[in-house]
Structure 1
Amino acid sequence: MNTPPSLAPAEGSIDCTVQGPLLLIAINRPAKRNGFTPKMFRELGQAYTRLDDDPALRVGVLHALGEHFTAGLDLPTIAPLMQRGEKAVPLGLVDPLNLGMDGYRRRSKPMVVAVQGITYTLGIELMLAADIVVAADNCRFSQLEVKRGIMATGGATLRMAERAGLGNALLHLLTGDEFGSTEALRLNFVQKVVPAGQVLDEALRIADVIAAQAPLAVVATRNNALKAVEHGPLAAMQDFITVQQGLSRSEDAAEGVRSFVEKRPARFEGR
């Protein structure tokens, strides 16, 4: 699925492919190590919004063309936006970083990410903002904003500490050092490590398994787990009875019971 650098647009692009219930979202600027331009940010927000708005799509899979996931921001094109305090993703779209900022929607459907090679700055923040990350064993991670005189504002300062503890997070945030997939797995930044060349296949396998489950239940489960992390277990627990009551009345719940009785795979419709 690699695209030769000569065929990729100079400003890069975000290319979408529908594969059954999956939306494959490809970062396409391999000649520049997939460095993100404003155009790519805008198209990524549009792709995430498409995933949420299309009822036929159940899971997103974010991956990259070429050898590397992304070297991060293309600073010459992004710096003017930073200086003006502007965002590259238009208001009203789903925020790929899922930060809950005013004017942006939050993603509701699952996102699986496949990372390989260089995965710097924004690359780490995009994978931490997703739900499940599969990493190639050749990954090179770095949250190196301090080496450029700026701060990570895409969620790394929040989620690295949440996943790995404050000391582990600051070790990498304050040094901007480079670390590999084994360390990323130890810190809970990624969920699986596979040989290079197999990362997208494994991400697709996981996404297919998720897509086969009851869509309403998947969304509700994801939302409740996220609420527990962001607002605490007591807040998330308050939703148990009402959410379960609604799910249990759905057509999918009835299909789940029928499939159990009939000893066959369930066929969920998201209703």
Structure 2
Amino acid sequence: MFTRGDRLELHPHRHHPPPEGCVVTQIVDEHILLIGLNRPAKRNGWTPRMFRELAEAYTQLDDDPNLRVGVLHAFGDHFTAGLDLPAVSEYLKKGQKLTPAGLVDAHDLGLSGYRRRTKPVIAAVKGICFTVGIELMLASDITVAADDCRFSQMEVARCILPAGGATLRMPERAGLGNAMLHLLTADEFDAAEAYRCNFVQKVVPVAELLDTALTLARRIAAQAPAAVIATRLNVLKNIELGQAAAVADFSPVQSRLASSEDAAEGVRSFVEKRPARFTGR
């Protein structure tokens, strides 16, 4: 267990990651799941194994009742250079999924046969963050970017459709013109431009990246877990299905939350003028 004053030590692998890379999970502060991309020798280029293990990590986050928030990060100097095309090209040609059915879809696209994520994820990106890296950070709830980031949604330069959510979330965050600027030119842009386009929410020095993400994660983990999930899902329902669908959930969800032990604790903490101690019940 780590507390706020502890220096976090990451454990990427007992020895070295396998050639095809892996995804390493680590629980900190009881309620936070660190999810680390671990193929630094190849700039964390994505392989089928990494996609499978990422989905398994997101499923672990959702299924473990003690976990409240995930932090997606990367080992090495770069978040990811994108797909390892030789490793995944056959999947793309055949239209095969890189993630086994039944798991949580890390891109959170609502695909048939896959689960939607309910708990929040913070992405901490640094160095090169290309293609699938951008799509994964856009699928997260909050993104913290290091000031050394280099972004590119370069699929059109490889005759590939950016099918991990960029065509949906870039225009949603940045507007049509800004989305087309980066989707159609395959240009490279920096953290300041990503911030301007609302692709990232904070830009910090690379040395402060993981600490900043963990500070946010700790703040979220201190809130009532059921209310965090309900709030997140209501925002997404509004974006995906419209205002009326989101408003229709207000009364039944509020009633369910108000009947919980955590709601009673929220009232007690208010009366007693102290921080609430939520249990998730």
**TM-score bucket (shorter structure):** over 0.9
Q: Give the counterpart of 2:23 among 14, 25, 28.
A: 14
- In structure 1, the partner of 2:3 is none
Partners of 1:99 and 1:106 within 8 A in 2: yes
* CA distance in structure 1 between the aligned counterparts of 2:202 and 2:160, rounded to whole angstroms: 30
- In structure 2, the partner of 1:247 is 257
Q: After TM superposition, where is structure 1 displaced by more than 6 Å over at least 4 residues in a row?
A: none
Cα 1:3–1:52 shift into 2, 3 Å: closer
Q: Give the counterpart of 2:237 among 214, 219, 227.
A: 227
Aligned length: 270
1:100-249 to 2 correspondence within 5 Å? Answer: 100-249=110-259
Q: 1:200 is matched by which residue type in structure 2?
A: L
- In structure 1, the partner of 2:70 is 60
* CA distance in structure 1 between the aligned counterparts of 2:184 and 2:27, rounded to whole angstroms: 40
Cα 1:3–1:214 shift into 2, 3 Å: closer
Deviation at 1:150, TM superposition (A): 1.0
Partners of 1:3 and 1:66 within 8 A in 2: no
Q: Identity percentage over the alignment? A: 64
Give the alignment's Cα RMSD to 1 decimal: 1.1
* CA distance in structure 1 between the aligned counterparts of 2:11 and 2:167, rounded to whole angstroms: 32
Partners of 2:91 and 2:98 within 8 A in 1: yes
Q: 2:258 is matched by which residue type in structure 1?
A: S
| Partner SS state of residue 103, structure 2 | coil
| Partner SS state of residue 207, structure 2 | coil
* CA distance in structure 2 between the aligned counterparts of 1:46 and 1:224, rounded to whole angstroms: 25
* CA distance in structure 2 between the aligned counterparts of 1:152 and 1:200, rounded to whole angstroms: 27
Cα 1:3–1:108 shift into 2, 3 Å: closer
* TM-score, structure 2 normalization: 0.94
Any gaps of 5 or more consecutive residues in structure 1?
none
* CA distance in structure 1 between the aligned counterparts of 2:245 and 2:62, rounded to whole angstroms: 25
Partners of 2:12 and 2:36 within 8 A in 1: no
* TM-score, structure 1 normalization: 0.98
